[in-house]
Structure 1
């Protein structure tokens, strides 16, 4: 039986909030949940939505411990069924990365396997000081299914990624911060507020400017340095023609905070 609402969607001003809502199943990633993530971004990215930043968080003690085991077990022996499960997960992760909106994730408790893959797809990561991260696929003869084999080496480097894959060990939040897997470490009780405050401040930035910055950084990593520099030259020219730049420069000259259009 599917959860009636595997993803809770909410708003806090200009911040869209996505909350994994399967705490009794450790917020395991199901087809319904990854599909709901994609639909939520469709809604948030509408021009009239008013959303300027997205916060991804989870209910319960743990962020997410991976794919829904019951669904995975039901797929064995059926290649088409496996593709129908893996495909939406991959598309959800890429949807987060490709979104023009900045996406911040807040992790508590365990972020393992698919949960680790989900948090790595986000732009900025907050973690509670008692959070733990890991990937146990190799321990059970499995492979990462939602992009972990590609994103983890890109974020923490090849040797650290291979060690985490091979050993299947969990790392603590301090190690995750040292490795660059997360950006901000806060106490468990401060996690929700700190992540939301960050998103609220981010929502005051220039929407087009942030979108271009995200596209440049993410797309540039997938090509050569020269290709990335060419994109930057093109996009900075486009950006300087936008009205937000006029407001930003006026604010800088007047020594006041900029007031960008919603």
Structure 2
């Protein structure tokens, strides 16, 4: 489900979410494998992508349905996704998201945890869970306002709408549009590794987030309990 490879000079680790038949949706096992792939990186740059014309649809809805409306299990699932996003954000490596096709829900939230987001012209972005009573809950309520500003974050999340690459660039969801996003990772990898690590650490130095994430996970757990039938209906 998660493929890892390094280039010849070991300056870039490529981490691929490899579940194209499910639009690279992530189960518990997939999240754990992704976390390991990030944690084990010794390369100064990580290039994160999805296989087969999608970045990631986020949480696997069948995995959410298997929670059987259990609020506490849903909180644990949300906390795992948040932990993986923090692992990405806190990695000493610069993490570049190469986004092709849809980045939805938790998939978008994992991209938001990356240091640089580059979308292809075919990339699209959205938080559609609100349409059936959920939201991504992998740190999106913390990072989305930070990236977009509170007003735009509220409109984007509450509407459940999807936006294309041009709109995402205008909003600030991505920093570049490039048909070959890996080229941006290669450009970054040409710089001094120690300088990259220091710059990331200083720019990423932010205020306390644990309380916000705990409240986000609890809200997700309550919604899973309240909308178990709606989740099942989406899968039918």
Structures share fold, TM-score greater than 0.5? yes
Look up the match of 2:34. 37
Q: Distance in 1 between matches of 2:102 and 2:69?
A: 30
**Highest Rg: 1 or 2?**
1
Look up the match of 1:9. 4
Unaligned runs of 5+ in 1: 1-5, 46-50, 224-262
Q: Which of these residues, 123, 137, 143, is aligned with residue 135 of structure 2?
A: 143
In the superposition, the TM-score normalised over structure 2's length comes to 0.83
Is 1:130 paired with 2:122?
A: yes
Deviant stretches of 4+, over 4 Å: none
CA-to-aligned-CA distance 1:139-178 (integer Å, 9 cap, x gap) = 2111331011111111011111111111111111101001
Q: CA RMSD in A?
A: 1.5
Look up the match of 2:67. 75
Deviation at 1:134? 0.8
Paired residue total:
206
CA-to-aligned-CA distance 1:77-96 (integer Å, 9 cap, x gap) = 32342233222211110001
Look up the match of 1:155. 147
Larger relative contact order, structure 1 or 2 (CA cutoff 8 Å, min sep 6): 2
Deviation at 1:128? 1.0
Unaligned runs of 5+ in 2: 209-236
Is 1:207 paired with 2:189?
A: no
CA-to-aligned-CA distance 1:193-246 (integer Å, 9 cap, x gap) = xx3232223223222221111111111x327xxxxxxxxxxxxxxxxxxxxxxx
Q: Distance in 1 between matches of 2:168 and 2:184?
A: 19
Deviation at 1:41? 2.0
For 1:31-70, what aligned pairs fall within 5 Å after superposition? 31-45=28-42, 51-70=43-62
